[in-house]
Amino acid sequence: MLSIRLNPQAEKELKEIAKFEGVSVSDYVRKIINEKLEDMYDMKLAEEAHMEYINDPETFSHDEVGKMLGIK
């Protein structure tokens, strides 16, 4: 369980948004936290892939990849 304190304005806005979305405040907060965590994970993977490319910039064309996979 997690408990947070918000200033009155932020709490009011959060309640209004949750109501607009048709969900409870808890469900809405859970949703936006999960979205943020997914975004951060995606960024981490992108940064790792970029560093891998920087360290070994070998690339393949679409046709080459198709041949490697036995598609073309």
Collapsing DSSP states into helix, strand and coil, what is residue 16?
helix
> How far, rounded to the nearest angstrom, does the alpha carbon of residue 46 sit from its chain's CA centroid?
11
Six-digit token string for 43: 């960024």
Under the banding of pLDDT at 50, 70 and 90, the label for residue 1 is confident
pLDDT value at position 37? 98
Q: Tell me the per-residue pLDDT of 12-67, one tens digit each, with 9 for 90 and over.
A: 999 999 999 999 999 999 999 999 999 999 999 999 999 999 999 999 999 999 99
- Would you list the domain boundaries of the chain? 11-37
